[in-house]
């Protein structure tokens, strides 16, 4: 009998083999036999996880590099209804929902293409994450690259680790808010209303 593989550290386990081998080992450890439908599963799962975690292969803030001059008094800019698909850092299960990104450019500062706000969200979401951290990272990127006078990121998501296992709350939804600078009460109300409408 070969000795069971028993790594001392996460790093050692990582170095041991490819993702495909690791998935095959996981399935074996969970008592899943190879069958007609599972023979190619390790390769499929490795490919799926490479896609789900593709955010490690980019710096999402780079999407905000191309900017345009803002009009004199640009007011609030907001994109609501951005689809969020992420992976819980604790359980490696998906959480999905919607994100709203809003910022008020400072006078004389720059604005960014609207699609780039969604690309920043997607980049940070496609990593092992906690929901609060995605909002904070998106906000930090916007503050660093655009220097807005105010900004807010709202995320409402459903966590499979809460829905399907453990506490088993299938209808629970989690909302997190990250904000920077000064936004007026009416701007805040508008952001929350659009976020609720776009969920």
Binding positions for Zn ion, rule: CB under 5 A: 88, 90-91, 161
The entry of ligand GTP, Zn ion, none near residue 71 (CB within 5 to 8 angstroms by kind) is none
Render the burial of 167-186: b for 16+ CB within 10 Å, e for the rest: eeeeeeeebbbbbbeebeee
Comparison of 29 and 164: residue with beta carbon closer to ligand GTP: 164
Query: In angstroms, rounded to a whole number, what is the distance separating the alpha carbons of residues 197 and 104?
Result: 20
164: which DSSP letter? T
Interface map 19-38 toward ligand GTP (x if CB under 6 A):
--------------------
Smallest separation, CB 158 to Zn ion (Å):
12
Is residue 115 within a helix (H) or strand (E), and if so which, with residue range? helix 114-125
Q: Measured in whole angstroms, how far is the alpha carbon of residue 11 from the centre of its chain?
A: 24
Q: Residues touching ligand GTP: how many (CB under 6 A)?
A: 10
Smallest separation, CB 132 to ligand GTP (Å):
6
Torsion of CA 48, 125, 193, 107, to 10 degrees: -140
Smallest separation, CB 109 to ligand GTP (Å):
31
Comparison of 149 and 158: residue with beta carbon closer to Zn ion: 158
């Amino acid at each position: 009998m070969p000795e069971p593989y028993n790594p001392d550290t996460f790093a050692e386990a990582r170095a041991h083999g490819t993702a495909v081998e690791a998935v095959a080992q996981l399935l074996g450890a969970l008592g899943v036999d190879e069958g007609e439908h599972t023979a190619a599963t390790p390769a499929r799962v490795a490919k799926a996880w490479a896609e789900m975690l593709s955010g490690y292969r980019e710096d999402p803030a780079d999407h905000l590099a191309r900017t345009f001059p803002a009009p004199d008094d640009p007011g609030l800019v907001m994109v609501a209804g951005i689809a969020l698909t992420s992976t819980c850092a604790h359980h490696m299960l998906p959480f999905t929902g919607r994100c709203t990104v809003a910022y008020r450019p400072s006078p004389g500062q720059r604005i960014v293409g609207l699609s780039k706000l969604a690309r920043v969200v997607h980049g940070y979401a496609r990593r092992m994450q906690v929901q609060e951290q995605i909002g904070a990272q998106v906000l930090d990127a916007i503050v660093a690259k655009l220097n807005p006078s105010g900004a807010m990121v709202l995320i409402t998501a459903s966590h499979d680790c809460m829905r399907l296992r453990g506490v088993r709350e299938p209808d629970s939804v989690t909302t997190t808010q990250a904000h920077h600078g000064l936004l007026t009460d009416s701007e805040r109300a508008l952001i929350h209303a659009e976020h609720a409408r776009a969920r």
